[in-house]
Amino acid sequence: MLSERRQKVLRALIEDYIEYALPVGSRTLTERHHLGVSPATVRNDLSALEDAGFIQQPHTSAGRVPTDAGYRTFVDELLLSGLAEEERPHRDMVEELRSSASELDALMERTSAALARLTNCLSVVMAPSVFAGRIRQITLVSLSDWQAIVIVVAEDGQVVNRAITFTEEVSADELAGAQNLLNRVLVGQSARDVRRSLDANTVEALSDPLVQLIIDEVIDCLGESDGNRAHSLGISSLLRQPEFSDAKALLPVMEVLEDDRVLLHTFDETAQEGGPVMVRIGHENPASELAGVSIVACPYGRGEADGIVAVIGPTRMNYASAIRAVRAAQCVLHDE
C-alpha cells in the first residue's frame, strides 16, 4: 500500500510521461508539480517506487518510466476517485452520432472513427453477437424453384442473409409453409439455444428435410456473421505514437486484429467481467501479442449478445481521456 505522498509522486510521474513520452527525473517533478517536499525526498520516493516495481529506469543516467504495475495503480485510483467520469461524456458527439446514422453498421463505423479522433488510439467497435442474440423474424424469398434467400432479423436490428440451393424443386407454398413454421419455432430464441429447447412435436415437424436444411443454413449464416463483427480504425494514429514509430512494433497488434478468434476472445470477456469499464494494461492482456499495449473497453447492448466498444493504445495512453471516450461511445450505441 503506497503512502499518500508516494501515490502523488507516482501520479505526477505518470502524467508527465503520458504528456511528453520521456523518462521523468526528480528535478522535473519538483519543478512541474507542487509536491510540497524537497527534491531529495522526491528522489527517495522514486527509489522506493522503483524497488516496489511501480517504475523503472531504462538507462542508468535517465529518469524513470512507469511499469505495468505503476499504470495499474494509477488507473485504479482514477476509477475509484471518479476522475475519469462525467455524467454525460462528450455530449455533443453522442447526439451528433445518434442523429447521423439510422443503421447499426453505419453507426458503428462512425463511432469507431470518432473514438480514434478523440483518443489518438486504435478504436474497435464490435457488433452484438447475432448468434447469441434472439431472432425477431425469418423471411424466405424464392428466387426460383431451386433457390431462395433466407433473411434473418435479430431483435437488436441486425440483418443477415444467405442464398440456399435446393436439391429438389420447392414450390412457393412449400417455402411459405417452412417460413411460417420457422418463425413459430425460432422467433424469440437464439440460434445457440434453438436445438436444445424444442419440444417433441416441434422436433417431429422439423424433421422435414426442407426445414432442416433451412435451419442449418440459418445457424451457419449467423455463425459466419459473428466472425466479422469488428469495425476498427485508427492505425495511422497509433503509428504517430513514439512507441510505434517503427512500424514493426505494431505488427503483433495487427496480427491479433486479423485473427477473429483471438480478437473475439480478447473482447468478449469484457461483457463477462461486469462493471462499467475494463482496463487491461500491457501484460495483463490474455494474448502475448498485446503485451505492449493497453485496452480500455466496455460492453453495450443487453445480455449474452452484448457488443464491445474499445480503444487500443500504448501503455502510455491518456487513460482518463480514453475512459471518457469509450463511455461516450457506449452511450451512442447502448440503445441501438
Banded pLDDT at 304 (limits 50, 70, 90): low
List, in sequence order, every residue forming a beta bridge with 307; answer none if it has no partner: 300
**Cα–Cα distance list, 308 to 23, 27, 189, 191, 257 (Å):** 34, 42, 22, 20, 14
Listed in sequence order, the residues at least 6 apart from 53 whose beta carbon sits closer than 8 Å to its beta carbon are 67, 69, 70
Share of residues in the chain with pLDDT > 90 (%): 28
* Whether residue 17 has pLDDT greater than 70: yes
Question: Where does the chain have alpha helices with state H?
Answer: 4-20, 26-32, 39-51, 68-81, 91-100, 104-119, 172-186, 200-205, 209-226, 235-239, 251-258, 260-273, 319-334
The SS3 assignment for 209 reads helix
**Which domains does the chain show, CATH number per domain?**
4-66 (1.10.10.10), 91-128+229-334 (3.30.450.40), 135-226 (3.30.390.60)
In this predicted structure, the answer to whether residue 99 has a pLDDT above a threshold of 70 is no
Residue-wise pLDDT for 151-207, tens only, equals: 988 877 778 888 999 988 989 899 998 899 888 878 887 776 665 555 444 555 567
Closest CA to 289 of 235, 264, 253, 262: 253
At residue 91, the pLDDT reads: 66
Model confidence at 248, in pLDDT bands (50, 70, 90)?
confident
Pairing of strands 55-56, 65-66: antiparallel
